Structure 1
């Protein structure tokens, strides 16, 4: 097989294979040179940036409670570095993005895990287990991911508010990087930010908006984060070109709604197809990826087979998820090609 004839399909890092809206390319083509050689003057108007101003308007909150950063990753790291010091406890999910542990280690924080439970066809947060760990360990910061990577489960709004009530005296960082793939309703954000002053909600343009390459993230913060605001503020502003592209994405709801419908339909299709395969078990997901448990005996062979065909998916190696794939939902063509490859492998290796 000539690999040079086939492009590599990356379904391993949860990138949006549909890419950004056409308006984002228009914004890039029409950039005025002033956006490149001048610093932002937005601070002179009493706001951090054009983008934070727009986000504040969209979410109905004060602009001072909006922060812009170099991707959600940047804001997450800043929050941990701002609030956690050597010996401080930080609560993280039992199954989570490896980066949570890394940034905790950077500041010599003490990692305390709280439970995520494996159900029949989904993972779920053990709410009372979370609260028990919180009350026992008394952490300085709690990280919650909803939907969670890599398990795909989420907290419903009533569950979230119950948890926040119990943890109201502690900084809680809610990572919502994937939430828009299944939930376009943002009405809860204003209520959460206004009601819970220690809350930080982090979102990104990398996933849903297909703009991972230009690195834009933002946070919505409760009233008690003046210290964090000062810690993260940038007097000379942010990337003006990235901001214009981000604004174009926010103005392209029709494009992204159509994309969401295609992806959720394919998520359901893959969930059903994988669960029909002998020895496979797919878990419900509210993100742009699906976690699939596979027979242990085929793991190495399947990885080799897919890699040789330039199809890259994530073969998990974490404790408790060693025999699992995390598959990014790609385009409709990519998803069907992946499914065909896996079925072909199973036929050839009966």
Structure 2
């Protein structure tokens, strides 16, 4: 019988969505499956965009919906980046960041995101220098950043937004674990070229439903038209997302557990010879390991029914990215890594 695997490699939320989300699926009926939405009759795109506008206290016309955060990143680039125009991204970032400009024959430019002690951080001075030199049309900032796990501080974010006012800034908050609706509202109200993107995939454990949303600064009305779907969106997905929004206590409990386990991974893995774990604000943690143990560790973990991400990128090629699972799964993983280390590292 094949061993059941525990997957901690794709930054999914293994706790699963709130019980209220399953209730929506149980009660789905003909009207949700066979009929288009009538939300347009009230002058809004959908029941979800309407609710999010209330949550963030901004006009509904400045809320956009997509098929996950990835879809909104793609649509924003296709809407605004022209052939030969430049997109600036962090050096250590999601692999898709490095490909997305190619889809519109744009030019990819990287700015430094560097390790500094226990964490990675944005090199703001180097970012400004690169911006002045390259004059990009768009700039991506990921906070928390995948795969490094670090966030940009509010102070540095404001500095960046003040300096880069001629560019379209996309603040990718797919891995947010602190709602901070008022802070986000103030940002998009203060910086008209800012787009903040979030998703229901990570925090709300709804990756399979593919629900993302964006909040627009006042100058980005074109993206609202570009992303609009005049026959509406996936009606059941929207209802599930609303159920998630109505279950804050469930998700706050998960966030507390993840915070505890992030600290556990950071502390315990840094005790292992040759391991360097970096502090993270996301639902994963990045760990540098000795290059020579990668293949053996991967096979050992697989034999234990555990799968983590072994990074294979130019700048991160002897690193693990460990998705935080349930507390039981995390305990199994840390015990397995310790067992391997005890037998293979001095």
CA displacement at 1:170 relative to structure 2: 1.1
State how far apart, in whole Å, the 2-side matches of 1:65 and 1:290 are: 33
How far does residue 8 in structure 1 lie from its aligned partner after superposition?
1.1
| Post-superposition CA distance 1:96-132 (Å, at most 9, x none) | 0011122211111111000011111100001111111
Matched, 1:195 2:195: no
Tell me what 2:147 maps to. Answer: 150
> Which residue, out of 295, 302, 305, partners 1:300?
295
Q: CA deviation at 1:243?
A: 0.1
SS in 2 for 1:68: strand
Aligned ranges 1:273-312 → 2 under 5 Å: 273-312=268-307
Asked if structure 1 preserves the Cα contact closer than 8 Å seen for 2:55 and 2:181, the reply is no
Contact 2:272 2:341 in 1 (8 A): no
How far apart, CA to CA, are the structure 2 residues paired with 1:153 and 1:251? 28
Residue aligned with 2:105, SS: coil
Write the distance in 2 (CA, Å) between the matches of 1:136 and 1:323: 32
TM-score by length of 1: 0.97
Alignment check: 8 A CA contact 2:82 2:104 kept: yes
Equivalent residues in 2 for 1:124-139, closer than 5 Å: 124-139=121-136
Give the C-alpha shift of residue 310 in structure 1: 2.3
Instruction: Structure 1: state its 5+ residue gaps.
Output: none
Provide the C-alpha distance between the structure 2 equivalents of 1:144 and 1:110, rounded to a whole number of angstroms: 17
- Correspondence for 1:90 among 73, 87, 90: 87
The alpha-carbon deviation at position 309 of structure 1 amounts to 2.6
Deviation sequence 1:122-155 (CA, Å, 0-9, x none): 0000111111111110001101100000001111
Q: Does 1:340 align with 2:305?
A: no
How many angstroms apart in 1 are the aligned matches of 2:261 and 2:324? 7
Partner secondary structure for residue 224 of structure 1: helix
Tell me, yes or no, if structure 1 residue 254 matches structure 2 residue 236: no
Instruction: Kindly indicate whether the alpha-carbon contact (under 8 Å) linking 2:87 and 2:136 is maintained by their aligned counterparts in 1.
Output: yes
Partner residue in 1 for 2:318: 323
Give the C-alpha shift of residue 308 in structure 1. 2.7
SS of residue in 2 equivalent to 1:287: coil
Is 1:266 equivalent to 2:270 in the alignment? Answer: no
The count of corresponding residues between Structure 1 and Structure 2 is 345
Matches within 5 A, 1:62-73: 62-73=59-70
Is 1:141 equivalent to 2:138 in the alignment?
yes
- The residue correspondences of 1:13-32 to structure 2 (distance < 5 A) are 13-32=10-29
Listed one character per residue, the Cα deviations across residues 161-219 of structure 1 (whole Å, up to 9, x for unaligned) are: 11001111111111000112xx2322211111111111100000000000000100000
Q: Give the secondary structure class of the aligned counterpart of 1:90.
A: strand
- Is 1:60 the counterpart of 2:50 in the alignment? no
- Per-residue CA deviations over 1:14-54 (Å, capped at 9, x if unaligned) read 00010100000011111232011110111111101000000
Mapped pair 1:208 → 2:203: yes
1:223-276 per-position Cα deviation (integer Å, ceiling 9, x unaligned):
111211111110000000000000000000000000010110011011000001
Q: Which of these residues, 51, 63, 76, is aligned with residue 73 of structure 2?
A: 76
Q: SS in structure 2 opposite 1:172?
A: strand
Q: Please, which of 47, 50, 55 is the counterpart of residue 50 of structure 1? A: 47
